[in-house]
Amino acid sequence: MKRAAAAAKINLALIVGPRRADGLHEVVTIYQRIALADRISVERSPELRVDGFAGDTLVRRALERAADGDRTSFAAHIEKRIPVAAGLGGGSSDAATALRLANDLRADPQPHDALRAQARELGADVPFFLEDGPQLGLGDGSELTPIELPQDYWILLVVPRSKVKGATKNVYEAFDARGGERGYEQRRDALRTMLGSLRRPRDLAALPPNDLASSPLADELRSLGAFRADVSGAGPAVYGLFLHGGQARETQKRISPEGRTWLTAPAWYR
């Protein structure tokens, strides 16, 4: 049996462009892994099985791709700690972790490039969870480049009680309807130019706001001392970045009536 943490992520930036020929959108995003994590265990099994989380869709598909053709499959157990459908990548991280652990159990493990290709078939952000460190995501988000970012800050996550996440498809359709792709090239180029100057935590405050989603909770977090606050992915989770743990904990107490909260930090390794 193999076990590992499956860490969540936040999008420190998310710039969205026009719809592509394949129906997806051009994006430029900064992925940052965080310490909040599910736990995944995988073992060889005579039949494919996933338990622990009835809402799983991706881990089963990941295990199907990991099968090595000797009539032996894999069983996985998921311990959920990452909030579901919140824009934090929990399902994608679970799938990538299960894929990696199952590959380690194969008689003939596949190379990393093959795993990355299989991860891409599962979702645009799944390949990120096979890599270490922050990554710049291009194309549909799956074209990854390692980047150096400051890591010494605290992260307060809030999933608002009054907000239920709609389908990601609907979020993108609303983006298209308002012409959100206008100015994409300029925003993309500005972000890429900015990457070389992100050396201290406070430099992250200059990153552009999320193109897909916004939340008044981000404004509230900034008013309470966050040097950056925004929605992660398509939401509804909102993150606030803090220089000091004491300030982050005090803000957590003050904002907890608004929703479920988690205090965490950046994580580098998968």
> How far is 163 from 235, CA to CA, in rounded Å?
9
Instruction: Give residues with Cβ within 8 angstroms of 195, minimum separation 6.
Output: 136, 147
Orientation angle between helical segments 58-66 and 90-105, nearest 10 degrees: 20
Active-site residue flag, 230: no
> How far is 1 from 137, CA to CA, in rounded Å?
32
| Nearest of 156, 119, 154, 125 to residue 140 by alpha carbon | 125
Beta strand residue intervals within 46-168, DSSP E: 49-51, 73-79, 135-138, 143-146, 154-160
Active-site residue flag, 51: no
Among residues 38, 125, 211, 230, the one annotated as catalytic is: 125
> How far is 27 from 184, CA to CA, in rounded Å?
9
> How far is 1 from 75, CA to CA, in rounded Å?
10
> How far is 159 from 165, CA to CA, in rounded Å?
10
Q: Is 141 left (phi over 0), alpha (psi -120 to 50) or beta?
A: left
Tokens 């969540």 belong to: 8
Contact status, residue 6 vs residue 126, Cβ threshold 8 Å: no
Among residues 9, 56, 94, 230, the one annotated as catalytic is: 9
Cβ atoms within 10 A of the Cβ of 253, count? 9
Q: Which residues are catalytic?
A: 9, 125
